[in-house]
């Protein structure tokens, strides 16, 4: 179990205002490859299984060729309900705007996060992937984020890319409403917060650091 990690990704491409989104490739590929190189076995699942779309803004001819295999993995994900969740020591949610449209409102995701959180297993997420943690409760029916140091894609970053008006809600605002201690880095600065078994990253530039923090936590 100690070497198995579950990645959970979106099936959503967005809506009429935020199109061609999905998983931000860097947030999947960088973390996947670092963990794999460190000896971890990774399974990738989504709510529906099958295709997890890649955010068009994360596709570039300058991307490392090693990321190509990660794109193939995202084309054929496992269906989450078919995954045996007790065999994993850690859970990771990449971002991209896609999770705001499916993962954010899923009871299945809520139950998944609660299982990992209340079993004291690592729960990690980056950027908009942190929305997966917002509905989970602890054993006392409090938000799993209450009084925790947490970060995510910020309201400021959302406004810079001019998508703040088109989302179901602003993630930073939601996290603060849940009673978390939201800690914000500068826009697109590498920034990760670790609080107990919760590890969160602010944006795509935090991918390497969050992978390192996941390994550090698992091997401590």
Residues in the chain: 220
pLDDT of residue 138: 96
Q: Whole-prediction pTM value?
A: 0.97
Q: Is 121 left (phi over 0), alpha (psi -120 to 50) or beta?
A: beta
Identify the structural domains of the chain with CATH numbers, from first to last: 4-218 (3.40.50.880)
| Over residues 141-163, mean pLDDT | 97
Under 8 Å between Cβ of 172 and 184: yes
pLDDT of residue 61: 92
Token pair belonging to 26: 């860097």
pLDDT at 2 over 90: no
Q: What pairs with residue 41 in β-bridges? A: 4
For 168, other C-beta atoms within 10 Å of its C-beta total 12
| R_g of the chain, CA atoms, integer Å | 16
Is the model's pLDDT at 199 over the cut of 90? yes
Over 70: is that where the pLDDT of 1 sits?
no
Q: At what angle do helices 25-37 and 207-218 cross, to 10 degrees?
A: 40
pLDDT at 212 (0 to 100): 98
How does residue 50 score in pLDDT terms, banded at 50, 70 and 90?
very high
The tokens for 44 are 């990738």
Report the distance separating Cα 157 and Cα 9, nearest Å. Answer: 22
Q: How confident is the model over 77-98, as a mean pLDDT? A: 98
Residue 48 burial (CB < 10 Å; 0-12/13-18/19+)?
A: middle
First to last CA, the chain: 16
Mean pLDDT throughout 77-95?
98
List Cα–Cα distances, 36 to 19, 32, 33, 150, in angstroms: 31, 6, 5, 25
The average pLDDT across 37-46 equals: 98
At 152 the pLDDT is 98
């Amino acid at each position: 179990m100690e070497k198995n990690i579950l990645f959970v990704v979106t099936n959503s491409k967005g809506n009429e205002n935020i199109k061609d989104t999905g998983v931000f490739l860097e947030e999947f590929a960088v973390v996947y490859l670092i963990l794999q190189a460190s000896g971890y076995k990774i399974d990738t699942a989504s709510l529906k299984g099958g295709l997890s779309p890649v955010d068009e803004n994360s596709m570039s001819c300058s991307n490392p060729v090693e990321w190509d295999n990660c794109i193939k993995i995202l084309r054929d994900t496992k269906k989450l309900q078919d995954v045996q969740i007790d065999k994993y020591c850690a859970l990771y949610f990449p971002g991209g705007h896609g999770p705001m449209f499916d993962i954010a409102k899923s009871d299945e995701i809520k139950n998944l996060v609660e299982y990992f959180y209340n079993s004291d297993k690592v729960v990690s997420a980056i950027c908009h992937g942190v929305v997966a943690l917002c509905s989970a409760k602890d054993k006392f029916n409090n938000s799993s984020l209450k009084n925790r140091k947490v970060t995510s894609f910020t309201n400021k970053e959302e406004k810079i890319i001019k998508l703040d008006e088109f989302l179901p809600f602003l993630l930073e605002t939601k996290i603060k409403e849940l009673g978390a201690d939201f800690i914000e880095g500068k826009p697109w600065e590498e920034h990760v917060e670790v609080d107990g078994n919760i590890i969160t990253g602010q944006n795509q530039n935090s991918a390497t650091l969050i992978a390192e923090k996941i390994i550090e936590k698992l091997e401590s």
